[in-house]
Amino acid sequence: MRGENKRSVIVGIFVFLGIAILVAGVLTLGGQQKKFVKTIQLKAVFDDIGGLQTGNNIWFSGVKIGTVRKINFYGDSQVEIEMNVEKEVVDFIRKDSKATISSDGLIGNKIIVIYGGTTLAPAVQDGDRLESVMPLDTDKMMETLQVNNENLVEITNDLKVLTSKLAAGEGIVGAVMTDSLLAESFRSIILNLNRASINSNRMLTDLNTFTAKMNQKGNLFNDLATDTVMVGDMKETMKSLKATAANSEEVSQKLEVIAEKFNSKDNTMGMLLNDPEFAANLKSTMENTDSATYNLNEGMKALEFTWPFNKGFKRQAKAEAKKDN
C-alpha cells in the first residue's frame, strides 16, 4: 500500500513538473511570439521574401516589436506578409515608413526591418500596408563576388607577366628601368620639358601683363575696343578716305585724258608741246616781235629830238621834275 502511494506521489510530481515545464514553455514562446500583448496588423508586399517564415521577428530601430503572422501569395507572383506589431510602438511608426527583409546576423534567420518615416505623416493604423523595399540578394552578391574574384585572378596574372617583362627589360618602360643610357636620355628630355614649361609660364605671365596694360583706360587699344565715339569717328574717317580715294581716282583719270590731249597735235596745247614746225614758227614770230619792239623803242627815242615833238617832251620833263620836288 505504501509502495503504491509512493509511486502515485512520484508520478504526480513528474506530472506537475511536466505541466510546469509546459506552461513555462508556452509562456516563453508566447512572450517571444508576442502572443500575450495587444497588437495590430500591418502588411507589406514583396517580390521575393528570400526564405522568410511565419513567426520570424520584426524589428524597428533595433528593437523587436512583433512577429510575422501570415504569408500569402499576392497578385501574379508577389508575396504579402501580415505582421503582428505591438500596439505600444504604433505611435512611432508612420504611414510613410518602409519595410525590408534582412538577416539576424550574417547567416541568421530572416527578419523584417521597419525604418524611415517622417513626423509629417500620421501614425499607422490596423490593416495599413507599408511600402516595401527589396533587399540585396545574397546569391547575386556571391555571384558578383565570384566574378570579381575571377577578374582579380586574371588581373594578378597579368600583373605578374607585366612585372616579369619589366624586370627583364622588355618594352619601353622596361628599357627605361634597366638601360642607364636610356634613363639618362629620358631625364634630359624631362629636364628640357621642365625648362620649356618654365619659359611657357614666363611667356604667359608677360602676355597677361601686356593684356592688362592694354585693358587700362587711356590706352589706345582699350579706347579702340571700348570707346564707341572713337569708333564712329574712325568710321567717318574711313568713309572720307574712301571718298578721297574715289575723287583721286577720278582726278587721275581726268589728268590722264588731259595728258593724252597734250600728247596729241589736234589741239593748241598739244600743238605747242608736240609740233616742232609750229614751235619754230612761233619762235620766229617771237623773235620778229622782239626785233620790232626794239626798233620801235629806238624810233621813240629818236622822235624825242625831232623838232615837232621836242617841246612836248620838254614840258613833260618839267612836270615830272615838279612832282619829284
pLDDT digits (tens, 9 = 90+) for 236-262: 778 877 877 777 777 777 777 776 766
For CA atoms 60, 62, 66, 67, the dihedral sign is: positive
Q: Which pLDDT score, from 0 to 100, does residue 18 have?
A: 80
- Whole-model pTM: value is 0.39
Q: Which pLDDT score, from 0 to 100, does residue 98 have?
A: 93
Q: Which pLDDT score, from 0 to 100, does residue 279 have?
A: 67
Residue with cell 512611432: 92
Q: Would you state the cell numbers that stand for residue 193, as one nine-digit string? A: 620639358
Let me know the angle formed at the C-alpha of 133 by 127 and 136, rounded to the nearest 5 degrees. Answer: 140
Cβ atoms 77, 49 nearer than 8 A:
no
Q: Would you state the cell numbers that stand for residue 141, as one nine-digit string? A: 552578391
Residues of the chain with pLDDT under 70: 1-6, 9, 25-36, 106-107, 136-139, 165-180, 182-183, 214-215, 218-231, 259, 261-276, 278-279, 282, 292, 294-296, 298-320, 323-325
Continuous segment of H or E residues that includes residue 128: none
Q: Which pLDDT score, from 0 to 100, does residue 265 have?
A: 63
Q: Which pLDDT score, from 0 to 100, does residue 230 have?
A: 62
Strands 98-103 and 131-133: parallel
Q: Which pLDDT score, from 0 to 100, does residue 189 have?
A: 83
Q: Which pLDDT score, from 0 to 100, does residue 14 have?
A: 74
Q: Which of 108, 100, 95 is nearest to 47 (CA)?
A: 100
Quick check: helix, strand or coil at residue 245?
Answer: helix
Q: Which of 138, 133, 104 is nearest to 116 (CA)?
A: 133
